Structure 1
Amino acid sequence: MLDLSVGVAMVARFQKFGMSFVRRSATSVFALLAAPLLAFSAPVAARPVSVKSVAAGGAAAWDGFVRQTLDRWFVIDPSTAVYQGAHEHDGQLPDWSAVGLERKATFLRSVIARAGSFKGLTDKQRFERDYMVQVAKGQLFWLTDADQPHRNPSFYVNGGLDPNVYLSRDYAPAPVRMRALIRFFDAVPRAAAQIRANLTHPMPATFLYFGGAAFSGFADAYANDAPRAFADVKDAALQAQLKAASQRASAAMKGVADWIKAQKPGGDYALGTERFARMLSATEAVDAPIPTIEAAGKADLARNRDELVKACTAFAPGETVPACVEKMNADKPADGPVAEATRQIPDLEAFVRAHDLVTIPGTEKALVRPSPPYNAQNSAYIDPAGPLDKGLPSIFYISPPDPSWPKEKQDAYIPGKADLLFTSVHEVMPGHFVQFLHSNRADFPVGRLFVGYAFAEGWAHYAEEMMWEAGLGNGDPKVHIGQLSNALLRDCRLLSAIGLHTGGMTVDQSKALFREQCFQDEGNADQQAARGTYDPAYLNYTLGKLMIRRLRDDWTASRGGRAAWHAFHDEFLSYGGPPIPLVRQKMLKEPAPHAVF
């Protein structure tokens, strides 16, 4: 649900990389992605490029500016380049020193100023310019205004420490990836020292728990998962190098985790009203007042609750709504959610094709796997292949319950079949997986490289309701309850984000909101309330969905309504992943970008 990262993710897909973009969303290598314009014969990092070497000018100069800007972006952020498939950056981590952080801030300010100075661009170039400027503004917000490097462990958790690309993505023979992983491990102790130097205390309890769990998970993955992944490589010397490097990296991460766990909680997680508004503007080009967004979220919550009452009346007559939702979730897959999701995806693909909902480009596949322990705080997410890793599958990860929980809480956490069905819709078909198949094929570089949080999560969440509207489940109220339970979860994320960061809401009050208004089980409510403190942008699921629905209604109104859905979906996805107000401006030919719900 890059439920990164950002990212991504991500975080992972978090939601991931800077919180405003999903896992593979922050940046990528331009050269291999746009081969007609430039072909590399040497690693990008070997010859840093100054953005200033291309003078701002008109249309003729724009492509050169984009090329040099993206070249430099990956020198600064090599870990994201690796996830995009630019493996000349393998083994590198960002420079998180004070000098490195300031270098990135200076670069982003330069991108904003110089891109904005171009005149005489074509319509397509103006769109790419506005898109690039918005990306830079969003990253700069998290880096400086929100000050995440000093305040929020998620900046690092979602910033390149995940080794999964080397372990699970078969982009090269195992010995090649193994050597890259050894270089990665060699870079971790320096990164760990920078993290400890940067993070200030006290931090809120939720930050400490999240950071402690994530860094401990990395430590375990480095020491255990990595050697297992390459156990079949018959090279004793390489195995010895991997063992030594993985143990050093694991010890460094464990040191960070132990250091965080030893801290006493304190401090304030809230961004505050003004900074929260700046977040919306910088990261998503959303200009609507916060009360307007909150009202839209409350209206969507009320709409979905009303629909849930109707569905429960049919599915569990005489039962309370919580009992009805519990009944829906009691129908759990006997062989677990990974096996069930694996069965669901081919059926969903057949449904999308039969109902002509959206083009599914390419032949790439999505595989389903259990989440690695270091990213188990996300109940489900997808790690999509980058645009440079041609023909590789994406991985849909599903997290098991926390083994430290009581058995009853663990059992409740495992989704029912109907609930899981819409998670599979969200993550794979036609959600994130299909969306990234399109963005990887966008016809301009920035569209292939940057996929925003609200665009990705908004599309995936929009896809859930759209699939129900198109007939998924044939009107079965149990299936509808599965869709609505996911919608209510995202409604409460929007209201929780606004409450936690602008309204004085406590974590316990947020948890109660998820339990009482959105009918979430205790384990999910715990996770979601905590996540809202360190991921204030998780309102983007519902925010993005509402903007996409309104854009669809406005665009298709003069094009045949439901008959134009396929055309709408294909055009919407063709823009890559920019802030949705930019897409609205482009598709409706409006004079300026605005957020409309």
Structure 2
Amino acid sequence: MQKHGFRLLLASLMAGLLPAASLPAYSAVTPAASALAADQHQADLDFQKIKATFLKELWRQDPDLAMSAGHFAQADRLALPGQRERDAYVAFAERWLQRLQQVDATRLPPREQTDLVLMQNYLNGTRWYLTRFREFSWNPSQHNIAGGFDAILNTDYAPNIQRIRAAIRRLQQVPAYYAAARASISQPTPEHTRLGIRQSSGAVSVLAALESAAAEQKLSHAEQTALTTGLRQARTAIQEYVQFLENTEQSMNPATARSFRIGCALYEEKFKADIQSGLTAEQMYQRALVAKQAAHDNMEKLADQLWDKTMGDTAKPADRVQKIAMMIDKLSEQHVPAKELYPEIRRQLPVLERWIREHDLLSLDAEKPLVVRETPEYERGVTVASIEAPGIFRPNDKTYYNVTPLDGQTPEQIESTLREYNRWVLQILNIHEAIPGHYTQLQYANQYPSVIKTLFGSGAMIEGWAVYSERMMLESGYGDQAPEMWLMYYKWNLRTICNTILDYSVHVLGMSEAEAKDLLMHQAFQTKAEADGKWLRVQYSSVQLASYFSGYSEIMAFRDELKQQQGAQFKLKRFHEQFLSYGSTPVSMIRNMMLNDKSH
């Protein structure tokens, strides 16, 4: 899972409501059409000015989004989650939608046509989220000040003293922030209320980090007073917010409380907005069911191949699901000790880099820092691992590979987690999250000259690339073609497939917790710890889990299409680098640009 600079909670907002099919067709400019070429050039210049104005106004409208992109000019502003601010954002979106409607897309080159569509998608998505989906009212975990302060403290965009001063000014707005948050909440779900309570402790820890960082600076008397007062008032505001949520939870009637399930209509709308696929959510769900069957077919063959070597004299059951489960259970005994989890992750990363270089799969920039760290407290409770990459304006900053520690778990829970991330799966996790998955893809995205494509990146493309990279690495021979590695790959890939099945089944079809865990544990062969975590995640989020399979399917289909077209001329490295060169653009748009890009 990736959070990539513009964090995951913003990623769903980045996608829009316009399908990729709305992209105008491209026609090559011929020498006989020099007048048309000149007209396109002028239209291109005019559109560059429009984009510059749009971004300048967007930074003022949304300082948190600006920071996530690496633009810290307004880091001292804390955007309040109030109705007045939401109304202003909707007005901003509608004003810019009207302005962009006046742009003649047919006069623009393909790269700018896609920027225009992505801008419209973002604005339509913003309006939909704020007026239709209205998650701010029923998801209290959305309201948390920690992310902005964390970005200020851990991004070297200015000298330390300047960053501390910005944080102190931001600190003064915290009480108003939580007052607006309380006023915004109406009929929250019990699940999101509990998550909000738990993650608010992370906000307190970030304030402690601010206090420690400020102690190392020489502050004036006035600044020190503002810091001390601000910290006290901010901690009080967080405590009052938590108390408000606890009181709200206690007063809930489970029979009448709002369900975390968003239902068919909202799910289809959100799927269209977030995933930007040519398929509906229901069609993607049906495709995933077929993929699950195919994965089981492959896993059965591998289990048969490994049986005598691994299981000895143990009788082989006739039921194939049971047979696969027994094989996975036996192999999962091979895992690192808990204390070696972080060192092993760090050890594997240069191994992956070396493999990619030696097999000429992709050019890598090893100079960009990748830091493996414990997941910050305010982000825990949703995933085991994630990537946070710097924004487009600060591409050389650290990328954080967050891994949630095993602290506070019982020995049984720890063993269950380590078995899930066993000897082979841990390697695939590192491929997905780091190299050549999220870390590598987001490096390429930050090199793309279009701020729009990077800022409003497609979550399905980003997650799809990470899933594709797992398959591609094994196809290249990583893991020595060992049947154990391939079996665990298919187990891992079943996550991608069953994420879609689970998400749709839970939010649309009403799947129960028992049915969900049966799917995850007995059909996707996940451990209890993983299934418990995924059940929590599907309650906290919607549609995002479907992005993995959707993006992966589109990338694989496009690669196969090019292989068929180009035959012996197809080069895997060239495909990878060209595909990644367009930023985090929806796959369908990348396909359009690649097929019409004559420079490659």
User: Match for residue 19 of structure 1?
Assistant: 12
Aligned amino acid, residue 118 of structure 1: V
Q: Measure how far apart 1:241 and its partner are.
A: 5.0
Aligned amino acid, residue 531 of structure 1: R
| Structure 1 residues 301-312: aligned runs within 5 Å | 301-312=292-303
Q: Does 1:553 align with 2:557?
A: no
Q: Does 1:177 align with 2:186?
A: no
User: Match for residue 333 of structure 2?
Assistant: 330
The 1:534–1:549 alpha-carbon spacing in structure 2 relative to 1, beyond 3 Å, is same
CA contact (8 A) 1:462 1:549 kept: yes
Q: 2:525 aligns with which of 505, 508, 519?
A: 519
Q: 1:222 aligns with which of 198, 206, 214?
A: 206
Q: Measure how far apart 1:344 and its partner are.
A: 0.8
Aligned amino acid, residue 368 of structure 1: V
**1:166-198: per-residue Cα shift (whole Å, max 9, x none)?**
333333333332223223332222211111111
TM-score normalised by structure 1 residue count: 0.84
Q: Give the 3-state SS of the residue equivalent to 2:96 in structure 1.
A: helix
Q: 1:381 aligns with which of 381, 386, 393?
A: 386
Q: 2:547 aligns with which of 522, 532, 540?
A: 540
User: Match for residue 449 of structure 1?
Assistant: 455
Aligned equivalents of 2:356 and 2:481: distance in 1? 16
Q: Measure how far apart 1:362 and its partner are.
A: 6.9
Q: 2:137 aligns with which of 150, 170, 177?
A: 150
Give aligned-pair identity as a percent.
23
Aligned equivalents of 1:369 and 1:231: distance in 2? 24
Q: Measure how far apart 1:242 and its partner are.
A: 4.2
Q: 1:394 aligns with which of 380, 390, 399?
A: 399
CA contact (8 A) 1:422 1:483 kept: yes
CA contact (8 A) 1:222 1:249 kept: no
Q: Give the 3-state SS of the residue equivalent to 1:306 in structure 2.
A: helix
RMSD: 2.7
Aligned equivalents of 1:365 and 1:310: distance in 2? 41
Q: Measure how far apart 1:354 and its partner are.
A: 1.5
TM-score normalised by structure 2 residue count: 0.84
Q: Measure how far apart 1:582 and its partner are.
A: 2.1
Aligned equivalents of 2:139 and 2:534: distance in 1? 17
Higher relative contact order (CA 8 A, sep 6+): 2
| Structure 1 residues 150-299: aligned runs within 5 Å | 150-157=137-144, 161-201=147-187, 203-219=188-204, 221-229=205-213, 232-233=216-217, 242-262=227-247, 263=249, 264=252, 265=254, 266-299=257-290
Aligned equivalents of 1:463 and 1:569: distance in 2? 10
User: Match for residue 516 of structure 2?
Assistant: 510
- Greater Cα offset, 541-550 or 166-175: 166-175
In structure 2, runs of 5+ residues without a counterpart are 16-41, 317-322
- Greater Cα offset, 125-134 or 246-255: 246-255
Q: Measure how far apart 1:205 and its partner are.
A: 2.8
Q: Give the 3-state SS of the residue equivalent to 2:12 in structure 1.
A: coil
Q: Does 1:364 align with 2:378?
A: no
Q: Give the 3-state SS of the residue equivalent to 2:373 in structure 1.
A: strand
The 1:234–1:59 alpha-carbon spacing in structure 2 relative to 1, beyond 3 Å, is closer
User: Match for residue 576 of structure 2?
Assistant: 569
Q: 1:90 aligns with which of 72, 75, 80?
A: 75
User: Match for residue 20 of structure 2?
Assistant: none
Find the structure with the greater CA-based Rg.
2
Aligned amino acid, residue 345 of structure 1: L
Aligned amino acid, residue 258 of structure 1: Q
User: Match for residue 49 of structure 2?
Assistant: 64
Q: Measure how far apart 1:245 and its partner are.
A: 2.9
**1:356-396: per-residue Cα shift (whole Å, max 9, x none)?**
22222472121111112221222111111122224222110
User: Match for residue 476 of structure 1?
Assistant: 482
Aligned equivalents of 2:45 and 2:431: distance in 1? 42
User: Match for residue 137 of structure 1?
Assistant: 124
CA contact (8 A) 1:222 1:246 kept: no
The 1:523–1:190 alpha-carbon spacing in structure 2 relative to 1, beyond 3 Å, is farther
CA contact (8 A) 2:271 2:280 kept: no
**1:383-433: per-residue Cα shift (whole Å, max 9, x none)?**
111222242221101001361x43201331232232221111111101111
Q: 2:492 aligns with which of 486, 510, 513?
A: 486
CA contact (8 A) 1:454 1:544 kept: yes
Aligned equivalents of 2:473 and 2:546: distance in 1? 22
Q: Does 1:495 align with 2:501?
A: yes
Aligned equivalents of 1:162 and 1:326: distance in 2? 42
CA contact (8 A) 2:90 2:130 kept: yes
Aligned amino acid, residue 407 of structure 1: P
**1:216-255: per-residue Cα shift (whole Å, max 9, x none)?**
3222x23434334555446585666545433432332232
- Greater Cα offset, 209-218 or 320-329: 320-329
CA contact (8 A) 1:271 1:502 kept: yes
In structure 1, runs of 5+ residues without a counterpart are 23-56, 591-597
Q: Measure how far apart 1:456 and its partner are.
A: 1.1
**1:104-162: per-residue Cα shift (whole Å, max 9, x none)?**
122223333322331122332212111221222233332222111212235435x8745
User: Match for residue 39 of structure 2?
Assistant: none
Aligned equivalents of 2:528 and 2:258: distance in 1? 26
Aligned amino acid, residue 210 of structure 1: L
Q: Measure how far apart 1:468 and its partner are.
A: 1.2
CA contact (8 A) 2:11 2:457 kept: no
Q: How many residues align?
A: 545
**1:61-117: per-residue Cα shift (whole Å, max 9, x none)?**
211111111111111111121122212121322232111101112222333332233
Q: Give the 3-state SS of the residue equivalent to 1:454 in structure 2.
A: helix
The 1:336–1:326 alpha-carbon spacing in structure 2 relative to 1, beyond 3 Å, is farther
Q: Does 1:427 align with 2:418?
A: no
Q: 2:344 aligns with which of 340, 345, 348?
A: 340
Q: Measure how far apart 1:457 and its partner are.
A: 1.1
Q: Give the 3-state SS of the residue equivalent to 2:538 in structure 1.
A: helix
**1:478-511: per-residue Cα shift (whole Å, max 9, x none)?**
3334433322222221111111222122344323
User: Match for residue 33 of structure 2?
Assistant: none
Q: Does 1:461 align with 2:467?
A: yes
